[in-house]
Homo-oligomer: A and B are copies of this chain.
Amino acid sequence: MIQYPNRKKRTVSAIPSSSYAKRGMNLEEDLNLTNDYYRSLNLANVHKKPIPVQIVKVDYPSRNKAKIVEAYYKTPSTTDYNGVYRGRAIDFEAKETRSNTAFSLKNIHPHQIEHMRSVSYHGGIVFLIVRFVNLDECYLLFLEDYDRFVKEHARQSIPYQWFRDYGHLIPYSLTPPVHYLKVLDNCCF
C-alpha cells in the first residue's frame, strides 16, 4: 500500500495514547474543536450555548469596562448544543461518565429531556453524546432510543451494553475529535 508522505500512519499504538482519558481534553473541549472544524469547512453550523447565569450586580471600574461582581449559575432549560446541518435543525446534550458499566439518567435534567422532545416534535434531529471516559468510547444515542429505553426499563441508568446495542459509536480522529456528523450522515439522510 502506497503511503503518501503527509499521510499519518494509522498506528494507534504509536501515539502515546489516543485515550480520551489521557489526552487531557474533555468532551466539551473536543466538541468545541469539532464544531470549529465543521464551521471552518462549512460542513455545519453548530455552537455550544453560553452557560446561563443570573447577573445581579455589575460594576463599571472604567468608562468602557463592565465587571460582573455578583452572578449565579442558573439551571439550564435547554440542551447545550444546537445548530443546523444539511437543512435540519440539530440539538443535543453531551455528557461524560467515569462509569464503565452504565450512564445514570440523573445526568440529564428532566426539563432538558422535555426540551429535546419538543425540538424533535418540531422536526429537529435530537440526540445525546455520551463519553465513557475510561473505556475511551463516545456514543451517539438518538432521543427516540433514549425514550424507548426509559419506557421499557424501570432503571435509573442505561447499561453500557445498551449503548453498544442501540447507540452509535462515534469514530475518533484527530480532526475532528468527535465526528458525530458521520453518524448523522449514516442514519438521518
Instruction: Please state if B73 and A84 are interface contacts (CB–CB under 8 Å).
Output: no
Asked if B68 and A73 make an inter-chain contact with CB atoms under 8 angstroms apart, the answer reads yes
Are A84 and B123 in contact, with the CB atoms below 8 A? yes
For the complex, is A97 an interface residue (Cβ under 8 Å from B)? no
CB-defined contacts of A66 to chain B, threshold 8 Å: 72-73
The answer to whether B123 and A78 have CB atoms under 8 Å apart is no
Residues of B within 8 A of A115 (CB): 45
Determine how many copies of this chain the complex contains: 2
- Chain A count of residues within 8 A CB distance of the other chain: 39
B83 adjacent to A72 (CB under 8 Å): no
A124 within 8 A of B: yes
A152 proximal to B (CB < 8 A): no
What per-residue 1/0 map shows which CB atoms of A109-143 lie under 8 Å from chain B?
A: 00000010011011110000000000000000000
Q: A67-B70, A91-B84, A118-B39 are in contact. Are A55 and B45 (CB under 8 A)?
A: no
- Which of A20-28, A46-54, A156-164 faces chain B? A46-54
Known: A42-B118, A123-B88. A72 touches B82 (CB 8 A): no
CA distance A86 to B121 in the complex (A): 9
Question: Quick check: A87 and B122 within 8 Å, CB to CB?
Answer: yes
State A42–B120 Cα separation when bound (angstroms).
Answer: 11
Q: Chain A, 50-87, contact with B by CB distance < 8 Å: what is the 0/1 string? A: 11110100000000011111111110011000111111
Q: For the complex, what is the distance from the CA of A122 to the CA of B66, rounded to whole Å?
A: 35
Shortest CB–CB separation between residue A80 and chain B, in angstroms? 11
A-B contacts, 20 listed (Cβ < 8 Å): A45-B115, A45-B119, A45-B122, A50-B52, A51-B53, A53-B55, A53-B68, A53-B71, A66-B72, A67-B70, A67-B72, A68-B71, A69-B70, A83-B122, A84-B123, A84-B124, A85-B122, A87-B89, A87-B122, A89-B89
